[in-house]
Structure 1
Amino acid sequence: MTALPADLLDLTGKVVVVTGAGGGIGAGIVRRMAADGASVVAHTRSSAVDLSGGEAIEVRADLTAEDGPATVVSAAREHFGRIDALVNNAGIQPVAPFTELDDQQWAEMIDTNLTAVHRLTRAAASAMADQGTGGSIVHVASIEARHPTPVHGHYATAKAGLVMHAKAAALAWGPHGIRANSVSPGLINRPGLAEDWPEGVGRWMAAVPLGRMGTPEDVGDACVFLCSDLARWITGADLVVDGGILTNPTW
């Protein structure tokens, strides 16, 4: 039997890149990674990032730009000397009726939420492969990859692409010891959400078996698990973090 570390969730010594770290979910992921000992490269395009929770650096880059992914990977390697995990969390979530989408709206969604993820994954996985130590890649997708809404059709399509991209990445980079998975959150609470969208929050609360909305830390915990040795033989999987809403999808 292979000997295992005493604490399988201990990420001490690991360098984790988290994109979209200036948003609510991204900040929650950064906090959880830092709490478990990881050194964090916190990417943001424009928002400020809270780096108070542990050893972390902020990197600003537009991941849809040609040099965006290389900027993030280079910063990680220059500051910490390596990359052990990548959490692709950055994305946009505009609202538009699917029947009225124009080409520009469609292209912006796919470029930001899918193409940029592919390009950064390719760059980070290449760095991990060069190191020869394996690694973990996690895409933050959505339960809307399985159940679209009328005003999120382009978003749901991109998130479904992320789930399949993780499977394709698992197949492609598995021989290098690199695992790739996705996390599909349900409704994640943020300040003002209940006031901004009372009818939607009401439908959610009436339907969710565990009786609450999610928190950024709920998503962060799932990402920590998939980046840890506890998930050492898990790749190509989609971990749903939704309080059980998909068992009762009436929201």
Structure 2
Amino acid sequence: MLHGKVAIVTGGAIGIGAATAKILAAQGATVVIGDINQQAALQTTEQIRSADGHALFQPCDVRNEADIQALVQFALEQGGLDIMINNAGIGGQPAPLHLTENHNWQRVLDIDLTGVFWGQKYASQAMLATGKGGAIVNVASIAGVGGSPNLGPYGVAKAGVIQMSKTGAIELASAGIRINAVCPGWTETAILEGFEPSAHERMIRSIPLKRMGTPQEIAELIVFLASPAASFITGAEYIIDGGITSM
């Protein structure tokens, strides 16, 4: 389905990003993984190649605008840029907003919001220059849909990602560039590593399906939205949370 396409996945070394990169490659895309975790990114790249897929690694810290510009340019050198997955993100240090340290607030927004802004901005410019359109999927969270106790900076950043996706989608629809946001609920990723086991249990009890999502499940939705099968979908926020936000 994606043969001949070039896709970028930020934060593509592990978790949802790695699962997304593998599915994109399995569907025929050339995948450029941008990440600060070089060892894990190279492992994921090799796994894709071992499965006869096409993948390359480009070091990228999404806090650095020049890194994202270089990442987009690297993709263009591979033949273009058709798909941009802005996935890189962190959870930050849990705390009530009134006790949140300024440096934690700024770090989360730099990575989870400004990094996505730069990814969307420079991918959009590249797609406009080629004139072929494209698809951008921004990974937000259900934390950006409602209140997020003890995860305020994360929730604020993800709410911004949803708004940015919708705004960009309207602005670029006429150019054939589709932009959507995916909003996962609790998912088995590294972001949860800082939580106590009791917190994990409470999370699972809060989910109607009584389990957490997997990176593979989130990645399947991301790739669908990036594919021609979703050609009439833009400006949407897709919640994938096991039913939490329906309660």
Normalising by structure 1, what TM-score?
0.89
Amino acid at match of 1:91: G
- Contact 2:91–2:191 (8 Å) recurs in 1: no
Aligned residue type for 2:83: A
Q: Structure 2: how far apart are the matches of 1:62 and 1:12?
A: 28
Alignment partners' CA distance in 1, 2:117 and 2:190:
31
Residue 200 of structure 1, CA deviation: 2.5
Amino acid at match of 2:129: D
Q: Which runs of 5+ in 2 are unaligned?
A: none
1:109 is paired with a residue whose SS is: helix
Residue among 86, 89, 99 paired with 1:88: 86
CA distance in 2, matches of 1:206, 1:111: 32
Task: Give the match for residue 4 of structure 1.
Answer: none
- CA contact under 8 A between 1:194 and 1:201: conserved in structure 2? no
Cα distance per residue 1:124-164 (max 9 Å; x no partner): 11111111111000010001112333220010000000000
Alpha-carbon distance in structure 2 between the residues aligned to 1:100 and 1:18: 33
Task: Supply the AA of the counterpart residue of 2:24.
Answer: M
Instruction: Give, in angstroms, the shift of residue 39 of structure 1.
Output: 1.1
Measure, in 2, the Cα distance between the counterparts of 1:159 and 1:233.
Answer: 24
Aligned positions of 1:1-251 closer than 5 A: 10-47=1-38, 48-49=40-41, 50-51=44-45, 52-53=47-48, 54-78=53-77, 80-97=78-95, 98-190=97-189, 197-248=196-247
- Greater helix percent: which structure? 2
Q: CA RMSD in A?
A: 1.9
Distance change >3 Å, CA 193–CA 175, structure 1 → 2: closer
Matched residue type, 1:11: L
TM-score, normalised via structure 2 length: 0.90
Letter in 1 for 2:8: V
Could you tell me how far 1:197 is from its partner in structure 2? 2.9
**How many residues are paired up?**
238
Larger deviation: 97-106 or 39-48? 97-106
Deviation at 1:107, TM superposition (A): 1.8
Partner SS for 1:67: helix
Letter in 2 for 1:25: I
> What do the CA deviations read for 1:38-65 (whole angstroms, capped 9, x no partner)?
1101111134211122201001022222
Amino acid at match of 2:146: H
> Structure 1: which 5+ runs fail to align?
1-9
| Structure 2 residue matching 1:95: 3-state secondary structure | coil
Q: Distance in 2 between matches of 1:42 and 1:197?
A: 31
Could you tell me which amino acid in structure 2 is paired with residue 12 of structure 1?
H
Cα distance change, pair 204–102 in 1 and its aligned pair in 2 (3 A): closer
